Amino acid sequence: MASELPNRFLTPEDLVEMFELPSVETVYQWRRKRTGPRGFRVGRHLRFDPTDVRAWVDSQMVEAA
C-alpha cells in the first residue's frame, strides 16, 4: 500500500486495488465479520475514510508484531 492515501473517501474497489485483494467480495466479507477498516454508507454506496484505513493498517501491523 502506498504511504500516501488519496484525499477522498475510498471505495471498496480502491481497497481491492490497494491491498491486491481477490475481489470486492473480500471487502464486504470484512465488513460482515467486522474485521476490516471501518466503513460507512452514502446512500447505497460503501465508502471508507482514508484515516480509518490507515489506522486499521497500523493496528494490523501491531497485532502481527
pLDDT by residue for the chain (65 residues), tens digit each? 555 777 899 999 999 999 999 999 999 999 999 999 999 999 999 999 999 999 999 999 998 87
Residue 3's pLDDT is: 59
Sequence-ordered alpha helix ranges (H) in 20-49: 24-33
pLDDT of residue 65: 76
Distance CA 20, CA 17 (A): 5
What pTM did the predictor assign? 0.86
C-alpha closest to that of 56 among 24, 34, 25: 34
pLDDT of residue 54: 95
Cell of 59: 493496528
